[in-house]
Structure 1
Amino acid sequence: MKPSIIFAGTPDFAAASLQAIVAAGFDVPLVLTQPDRPSGRGMKQQSSPVKQLALSLELDIQQPTSLKDPEIQAHIRAIQADVMVVAAYGLLLPQSVLTIPRYGCLNIHASLLPRWRGAAPIQRAIEAGDSETGICIMQMDAGLDTGAILSRHLYPIGENDTAAQVHDGLMALGAKAIVANLQHLDQLKPISQPETGVTYAHKLSKAEAQINWHRSADEINRQIRAFNPVPGSWTLWQDKPLKIWRAQVVEGSGQPGTIVQSDEHHLIVACGSKALSIELLQKAGSKAMPVNAFQAGNALSIGTIFPSAESHS
C-alpha cells in the first residue's frame, strides 16, 4: 500500500515534485503552501505555483502564516499521513510538526549536503566554481539542513550554465528522486551528514550583485552565471545600473573596469586578471539585448571605465 503524503512547498521547484508524486499515484490529502502575496506591476495577490497546481488537481490546500499555530498542527495530526514531503516551502517546521507523520518529514534539497546548506545553494555552487551539485533527499530535523541523508543524486554543472539552467535540471531531478524514495519508504537507511565540509549558502542580495572589476574574469563570470536570473549582476553606467547577463572570459589586460575593445560585435572589459567579453546586457528601462544590437544604439567607447563595487566577503 502506497504511503499517504502531506506536501509542503511554494515555488516552481516544489510544484514539479508535487506533480510527479500525484502522477505516481500517491494519495496527497493535504498541500501546505505560502499565503498569497502581492506581485507584479499591479501588485495583485498571486497564488504560488504549488497552490495553482494543487487547485488544478483538486487537492485540499492550507496556507498558514506559521506552523506553530496549534490549529494547523491539529489539522496535520488529524490527517494521519505517513510522511510529509517538504520542498522550498519557506516556513520553519517546528519539532512538534516534524514528528507528526509516521516517517517524519523528507526535504528535497538542491545541493550535495553538507555542502551548501541554507537559502541559495544553486547560486553559491556556481559562484564557487563547483563542477557538480545535486539533490539530497534528507530526513528533516530541527537544524538548518542538518538532517540525515536518505539519497544523493549528482548533477554536473556545465561551464556556461546559469542558475536558471541548473535550477531547472535540479527541479526535474528532485521530482524523480522523491518519487523513487517514496516508493521504497520503509527500506530507506538514513546516513548522518559528515561534520567536515559544511558550507552555508547565504541569501543573495542586490548589493553583492554589483560587479567588482578588480576580481578575476573567471570569478566575475561565475558571478554573472550564478546571479542569472535573480538578482542579475550589474555595473554602473551613466549613474544607472547596467545588467550583464552573459559573458565569456578572454585574454586581455588593463585597468580593471576599463573597456579595452569596443566595436560592432565586441565589448571587452579588463578585470583583475584577464578580461570579459560581454555578450548579453541590459540598460535601465530597456530589455536585454546581444552586444551587436546594444552597440548600435549606445556609445560604449574604448577607455570608458565602469566603477568597481566594494569587495563582498
Structure 2
Amino acid sequence: MTRPLRVVFAGTPTFAAESLKALLASHHDIIAVYTQPDRPAGRGRKLTPSPVKALAQEHGIDVHQPVTLKDAQAQQTLAALGADIMVVVAYGLLLPQAVLDIPRLGCLNIHASLLPRWRGAAPIQRAIEAGDSETGVTIMQMDAGLDTGDMLLIRRIPIEATTTGGELHDQLAQLGGEAIAEALNALTSDELTATPQPSDGVTYASKLSKAEAELDFTRAAKELAARIRAFNPWPVTWALLDGQPLRVWLAEPEAEATEDLAQLPGTLLKPASDALRIACGSDGQDVLRVTQAQLPGGKPLAARDLLNSRAERFSPGIRLGHSHQEDTA
C-alpha cells in the first residue's frame, strides 16, 4: 500500500460529495474540507449546508467556508494545515496561483469531461447536447487557467442514446471518485505522468440557462431530443401550449414519418399510443416523439397517461411555440 497523503478536499455539490466519499474510504488522511458558505434553500429559505459539508460533519472533519481565497488570512489558514495535496471538485471559488502553490504536491481537479473537450461550467450536459458518443473524467494538475492544466489520468464511459443529464451526472460522480482515489495512490508511487492538453479539440461548456431551455421546433428532431435529455433534470426544456409552459422531460426522434406531414414546425400530429408527436425541422417534415411531459400544476407523466387523461389538450393541429413567431418570419 502506498503511503497516505494529507489531503485538503474542496467541493460543494453532490457531484463533489461522491469523490469525498471515495477518499474517506481510502487510506489517505482527509485533514480538512473547504466548501461554499451555507445557502438559503426550501420554502422557508433556511440556511442549508452543502452536501460536502454535511458529509464532512458526519465524519468529524473540520470544515472551512471562506467567502474568498484571495485574501492573505484565508491563505495563511490553508497553509497552516500542512497539506500534501488539495483535491478540488466543483468547489465554486476561484483558486489564485498563491493557493495553488500552497500544498506540497499542488492541487488536483476532477473534471467531468475528456479534456480538452468541454472545459468550463457544464461539461456533462453539453456532451449530451452535442451528441457525443463518449465522455469521462480527467484528473488534472490545476494551473491558473480555466481547466487548462496537465492531465494525469483519464477514465472514459459511453453516452447511450437514452442517457439524461441526471443519469450521466451520477455515473461520472462515481467514476470521478474512483479515479481520484486511483490517482492519489499512483501519485505517491510515482506512477503518474503529467501530459499537457493538446491545443486541438478545445471546446467550452457554457453554463446552462433557463432561457435556452425553450424548444425551437424549427430545429431537427435529433437535435431537440438531445437537448431535452441534456437538460433533464435541470433546467428542463419547455414549449408553450395554449399560452402555458409544457415541460418536456423525455423525447426521441421518430425514425421515419408515416404520413406526408405538410405541417408548420411545432404542430401536434396524430399521437402514438405512448408518445405525443410534434412536427419539427425547418420544413416541418421531421417528427419529435415526446414520451414524458408535465402540464402546469401537475407532475411529470408518461405521454400515455397524459393522452388518457387530457387528450383534448393534445389534439392534432394544435401548435406549440412562443407566439408562433415563425409565422411572421
Common fold by TM > 0.5: yes
TM-score grouping bracket, smaller chain normalisation: over 0.9
SS in structure 2 opposite 1:72? helix
* CA drift at 1:191: 0.5
Whether 2:261 is the aligned partner of 1:249: answer: no
- Contact 2:109/2:142, CA 8 A, preserved across alignment: yes
How far, CA to CA, are the matches of 1:95 and 1:166 in structure 2? 32
Partner of 2:275: 266
Q: What does residue 136 of structure 1 align with?
A: 138
- Partners of 1:137 and 1:266 in 2: CA distance: 41
- 1:196 aligns to 2:187 (yes or no): no
1:87 to 86, 89, 92: 89
In the TM superposition, 1:32-43 aligns within 5 A as 32-43=34-45
Higher mean displacement: 51-60 or 301-310: 301-310
Q: Deviations over 1:124-179 (max 9, x none)?
A: 00000000000000000000000000011111000000011111110111000000
State the Cα RMSD in Å: 1.5
How high is the TM-score relative to the length of structure 1?
Answer: 0.96
Matched with 1:103 is: 105
Quick one: percent identity of the two aligned structures? 50
1:25 aligned counterpart, secondary structure: coil
Of residues 112, 117, 120 in structure 1, which corresponds to 2:119?
Answer: 117
Q: State how many pairs are aligned.
A: 311
Q: TM-score, normalised by structure 2?
A: 0.92
Contact 2:242 2:320 in 1 (8 A): no
Decide whether aligned partners of structure 1 residues 263 and 195 sit closer, same or farther in structure 2, where only a CA change above 3 A counts.
Answer: closer
CA apart distance, 1:266: 3.4
CA contact (8 A) 1:126 1:226 kept: yes
Match in the other structure for 1:307: 321
- Aligned partner letter, 1:260: L
| Residue equivalent to 1:208 | 212
Alpha carbons 2:150, 2:197 under 8 Å: kept = yes
Alignment gaps of 5+ in structure 2: none
**Any conservation in 2 of the 1:112–1:133 contact (CA below 8 Å)?**
yes
SS at match of 1:259: coil
- Closer/same/farther in 2, CA of residues 62 and 310 from structure 1, 3 Å limit: farther
Structure 1 residue 274 displacement after superposition = 2.0
* Counterpart Cα distance in 1 of 2:273 and 2:117: 43
Please say which of residues 85-94 and 296-305 is displaced more in the overlay: 296-305
Q: Does 1:28 align with 2:42?
A: no
Aligned residue type for 2:115:
L
Equivalent runs, 1:27-66 vs 2, <5 Å = 27-66=29-68
* 2:240 alignment partner in structure 1: 236
Could you tell me which runs of 5 or more consecutive residues in structure 1 were left unpaired when the two chains were aligned.
Answer: none
